Amino acid sequence: MIDRKSVEDALQLIRPTLQADGGDVELVNVTEDGVVEVELQGACKGCPMSQLTLANSVERVLKSKIPEITKVVPAG
């Protein structure tokens, strides 16, 4: 199983970029099959580019740091 702390640490690498644009990301859940659920916050929440941000930034960085992650999805 993927260590939640490892995911939180990897998210710290992404946060400065998101925060520079008025947004942020919160870890909601890590499933046993490697799915990471996150919630985009601030300016990122509801942004038309949020799916692109999730795939091209958050998922790319998390998978590069933790290869066991199978995908990153929005919470809810």
pLDDT value of position 55 = 83
pLDDT digits 0-9 by tens, 7-60:
999 999 999 999 998 999 999 999 999 999 999 999 888 888 888 888 888 999
pLDDT confidence band for 1 (50 / 70 / 90): confident
Domain boundaries, the chain: 4-74
Would the pLDDT of 63 be above 90? yes
Would the pTM count as exceeding 0.85?
yes
Domain 4-74 fold: GMP Synthetase; Chain A, domain 3 (3.30.300)
Percent helix / strand / coil, the chain, rounded to 5: 45, 25, 30
pLDDT of residue 19: 94
Beta strands in the chain, from DSSP E residues, in sequence order: 23-30, 35-42, 71-74
